[in-house]
Amino acid sequence: MTIPREELEKMVRSWLDMVEEITRNEGLPVIPAEKTGDPLWVDVRELRLKYLIPISRVKRFFDGLKEGKVYATKCPVKNVFFFPPQADCPYCMDENLEWVEIDGEGVLLTYTVVNVKPASYLHYPDYVVAIARMNEGFNVLCWMNVDDVSKLKIGTKVRLVVKRREPEGFLTYYLEPV
Amino acid sequence: MKKVAIVGVGHSRFGNITNMNLNELAWTAVKQAFEDAGITQKDVQMVALSNVGGWSSEPLPAISVNEYSGLTGVGTYRIEAACASGSAALATAASFVSSGSADVALVVGVEKMNESPTPTAVELIGRSGNYFWEFSMFGLTFPGYYALYATAYMDKYGASEESLAAVAVKNHYYASFNENAAFRKRITVEDVLKSRPVAWPLKLLDSSPITDGAAAVVLASEETARKLTDTPVWLAGIGYGSDTSNLSKRPDFLGLRATRKAAAEAYKRAGVDPAKAARNFDVVDVHDCFTIAEILAYEDLGFAKPGQGHLLAKEGETYKGGLVPVNLDGGLKAKGHPIGATGVSMAAEITKQLRQQNPKERQADIVKGMGLSHNVGGTGHYAYVTVFSLNKPGW
């Protein structure tokens, strides 16, 4: 089931209106619990959380997405890849990591279909989340574009592509069967 | 190091509890634990409170529960290790007692998940992995994380959906005898297979519910424990482990490395032979947030060889009378999984099992006097394994 965001906001709004009416009539924001009828106080306060997350030390990764490329970082001393990329190598204390474009080919390790979605994903149809082992040896976890998920097999060859995620419009990476 | 014993336990009803707030719920467990131990507030020198929160309204639950329970002034803090918070709190309080910093410590686990709507709870548990790279970008949910393990495990070892379902059937069966359990209805393999998918291949009846609940245990040093009770339940060994925040950074999806490390440590401290792990315990509680998690636990705890955990479930070897009885309280699956309360609930359950205080249908035969709890946080992000014993540890 997909619920468009406008629809969701309308549902929340109408519920809040109902609580407000109860508060006006009864003098208290108290509603009965659905199953037991026990009185529940509807919190008068509401919090909206949207984080501001620094990305300056891995900015190259996001610049890469704009060019249709996916980058990992690599420690030249330890020869270790980091994906998702990180700016520091904790093993040799080095911060001069190299940016390496991912070859983009790999093999499917595992996957699932998210049927019951979190609140902030209710506007999406059910989506496939997969993990693939890339040729370089590290794994990538992301959504997988697949026509018929019932035919998907572990071990299938996959490739990484950069696309916009709609309706949100941001650039991100997807796996696709080769 | 001083020896530490559990001398009192308390446990609230688990479920969607609409007639009690967080403080009231915690108090029901604390009150029972005090009565069971025969102590009062003035005896408590330290409180470790396990709560994850976010879905519930009190941001400083350690303080509000202390106030409500008449414990104001006693040192406390909230402890978070996701779904393993309860065992983390137990381990922390045990350290206070074993070091001599406290003679009597109280461990409280409490969670009120139903203070928020279900999609919000799904969202907050889904965020409990790597937030930025795996939730914010790709919307993984708690069942979604475990489904990634289930898909890989079933493909590699040929485990069937029926074998997974057998875990749910067993745990619902035992929950039917547990008055505190959220689900007391027995189910069949068909019921599980017919239930709607939540994160394929996991279905609703493969999953533990969103739950409210509280549990409490009182810990005491040897000298005090001897004064309070004839049947102290000793903490014989606790092991800890962790794994990567990003699931993608793990080498495979066939078992939990954090559990293996925690088990190895706990077995070593308790003097348990890891080669015959199952034979050491009369009763075990494992972290069955999803059916696949119980199967992985059989292997990671050394009860079954890699790839054979699903056979243990299928053949009923973890019922009473089998190789080792697992989750006779109904487990997270059917007793319920109020995140921060779960580990404390396990400690309370194993204590009552070893004291033989449960209804006979779900009371294990206590022969060796040893029990174990296995508590995982997130998807193997944290793991705690605790060995409980009626015999004073030899170390």
Set of chain B residues whose Cβ sits within 8 Å of the Cβ of A111: 148, 151
Q: What is the pLDDT of residue A78?
A: 82
Question: Does the CB of B201 have a partner CB in chain A at under 8 Å?
Answer: yes
Set of chain A residues whose Cβ sits within 8 Å of the Cβ of B127: 118
CA distance A117 to B141: 7
CA distance B389 to B367: 11
**Considering chain B, what is the average pLDDT of its residues?**
97
Query: Confidence class of residue A77 from pLDDT cuts 50, 70 and 90?
Result: confident
Find the closest chain A residue to B207 by CA distance: A116
Asked if B120's CB is within 8 angstroms of A115's CB, the reply is: no
Set of chain B residues whose Cβ sits within 8 Å of the Cβ of A84: 130, 132-133, 246, 248
Whether A125 and A145 share a structural domain? yes
Q: B121 vs chain A: nearest CA distance in angstroms?
A: 8
Are B261 and B119 within 8 A, CB to CB?
no
Instruction: Tell me the fold of B4-117+211-228.
Output: Peroxisomal Thiolase; Chain A, domain 1 (3.40.47)
CB contacts < 8 A, A to B, total 108
pLDDT over 70 percentage in chain B = 100
Query: Confidence class of residue B394 from pLDDT cuts 50, 70 and 90?
Result: confident
Option in A43, A111, A115 nearest B198 (CB): A115
A9, A110, A113, A121: best mutation site toward chain B, by most B Cβ within 10 Å?
A: A110
**Which tens digit of pLDDT belongs to each residue from B198-228?**
999 999 999 999 999 999 999 999 999 999 9
Q: Where are the beta strands (DSSP E) in A91-168?
A: 98-101, 105-114, 127-134, 139-144, 157-165
B 321-340 residues with CB below 8 A of A?
A: none
Option in A115, A122, A138 nearest B200 (CB): A115
Query: Confidence class of residue A94 from pLDDT cuts 50, 70 and 90?
Result: confident
- A46 inside domain: no
pLDDT at B279 over 80: yes
pLDDT at A28 over 80: yes
Whether A87 and A142 share a structural domain? no
Option in A110, A122, A129 nearest B140 (CB): A129
Are A31 and A19 within 8 A, CB to CB?
yes
Asked if B126's CB is within 8 angstroms of A118's CB, the reply is: yes
pLDDT at B26 over 80: yes
- A141 inside domain: yes
pLDDT at B281 over 90: yes
**Which tens digit of pLDDT belongs to each residue from B105-131?**
999 999 999 999 998 999 999 999 999
Burial environment of residue B252 by CB neighbours within 10 A (0 to 12, 13 to 18, 19 or more):
middle
- A152 inside domain: yes
Of residues B228, B364, B232, B367, the one with CA closest to residue B285: B364
Find the closest chain A residue to B247 by CA distance: A141
Are B350 and B285 within 8 A, CB to CB?
yes
pLDDT over 70 percentage in chain A = 100
B355, B357, B361, B365: CA torsion to nearest 10? 10
Set of chain B residues whose Cβ sits within 8 Å of the Cβ of A83: 248
Query: Confidence class of residue A95 from pLDDT cuts 50, 70 and 90?
Result: confident
Whether A80 and A139 share a structural domain? no
B 138-157 residues with CB below 8 A of A?
A: 138-141, 143-144, 147-152, 155
The catalytically annotated residue of B11, B310, B337, B381 is B337
- A58 inside domain: yes
State the average pLDDT over residues B148-159.
Answer: 98
pLDDT at A1 over 90: no
- Active-site annotation holds for B337: yes
Q: What is the pLDDT of residue B257?
A: 98
**If phi over 0 gives left and psi between -120 and 50 gives alpha, with beta otherwise, what is residue A131?**
beta
pLDDT at A150 over 90: yes
- Inter-axis angle of helices B291-300 and B161-175, to 10 degrees? 100
CA distance B220 to B185: 37
Asked if B18's CB is within 8 angstroms of A40's CB, the reply is: yes
> Per CB distance under 8 Å, which residues of A are interface residues toward B?
33, 35-36, 38, 40, 43, 53, 83-84, 109-122, 124, 127, 129, 131, 138-143, 149, 154, 172
> What is the distance in angstroms between the CA of the first residue and the CA of the last residue of chain B?
9
Q: B321 vs chain A: nearest CA distance in angstroms?
A: 36
Query: Confidence class of residue A2 from pLDDT cuts 50, 70 and 90?
Result: confident
Whether A63 and A75 share a structural domain? yes
Reported for B222-231, long-range contacts at CB under 8 A and 24+ positions apart, including other chains, are B222/B2, B222/B3, B222/B4, B222/B5, B222/B392, B223/B103, B224/B7, B224/B103, B224/B104, B225/B5, B225/B7, B228/B7, B228/B8, B228/B37, B228/B38, B228/B39, B229/B5, B229/B7, B229/B37, B229/B38, B231/B354, B231/B355, B231/B390
Q: Is this complex's ipTM strictly greater than 0.90?
A: yes
Are B280 and B236 within 8 A, CB to CB?
no
Are A134 and A29 within 8 A, CB to CB?
no
> Three-state DSSP class for B212?
strand
A 10 A CB-CB count for A77 gives 13
Asked if A116's CB is within 8 angstroms of B122's CB, the reply is: yes
DSSP readout, B277-303?
A: GGGG-SEEE---SBHHHHHHHHHHTTS
- Please enumerate in sequence order all residues whose Cβ is within 8 A of that of B341, keeping only pairs 6 or more positions apart, or say none: B12, B14, B29, B50, B86, B109, B110, B111, B213, B214, B215
pLDDT at A110 over 80: yes
Query: Confidence class of residue B167 from pLDDT cuts 50, 70 and 90?
Result: very high
Whether A95 and A108 share a structural domain? no
Whether A93 and A112 share a structural domain? no
Q: B141 vs chain A: nearest CA distance in angstroms?
A: 7
Option in A112, A117, A124 nearest B151 (CB): A112
Query: Confidence class of residue A92 from pLDDT cuts 50, 70 and 90?
Result: confident
B200, B252, B292: best mutation site toward chain A, by most A Cβ within 10 Å?
A: B200
Q: What is the pLDDT of residue A96?
A: 81
Option in A122, A140, A154 nearest B119 (CB): A122
State the average pLDDT over residues B76-95.
Answer: 98
Containing H/E element for B77?
strand B76-79
State the average pLDDT over residues B161-168.
Answer: 98
pLDDT at A38 over 80: yes
| Bond before A32 cis per omega within 30 degrees | no
Domain range for A174: 104-178
Find the closest chain A residue to B57 by CA distance: A43
CA distance B15 to B24: 15
State the average pLDDT over residues B306-311.
Answer: 98
Whether A116 and A94 share a structural domain? no
Alpha helices (runs of H) in chain B, residue ranges in sequence order: 22-37, 61-68, 85-98, 118-126, 142-157, 161-175, 189-194, 222-228, 257-270, 291-300, 309-314, 342-354
Query: Confidence class of residue B139 from pLDDT cuts 50, 70 and 90?
Result: very high
User: The CATH number of the domain where A163 resides is what?
Assistant: 2.40.50.840
> Three-state DSSP class for B217?
strand
The domain total for chain A is: 3
pLDDT at A168 over 80: yes
Q: What is the pLDDT of residue B395?
A: 79
pLDDT at B245 over 90: yes
B55, B141, B154, B161: best mutation site toward chain A, by most A Cβ within 10 Å?
A: B141
Q: What is the pLDDT of residue B76?
A: 98
Query: Confidence class of residue A152 from pLDDT cuts 50, 70 and 90?
Result: very high
Of residues B246, B334, B348, the one with CA closest to residue B7: B348
B13, B18, B113, B154: best mutation site toward chain A, by most A Cβ within 10 Å?
A: B18
Q: What is the pLDDT of residue B345?
A: 98
Q: B45 vs chain A: nearest CA distance in angstroms?
A: 34
Containing H/E element for A9?
helix A5-26
**Considering chain A, what is the average pLDDT of its residues?**
95
State the average pLDDT over residues B38-57.
Answer: 98
Are B105 and B76 within 8 A, CB to CB?
no
Measured between alpha carbons, how far is residue B280 from residues B174, B298, B349, B371, B389 in Å?
22, 14, 18, 8, 10
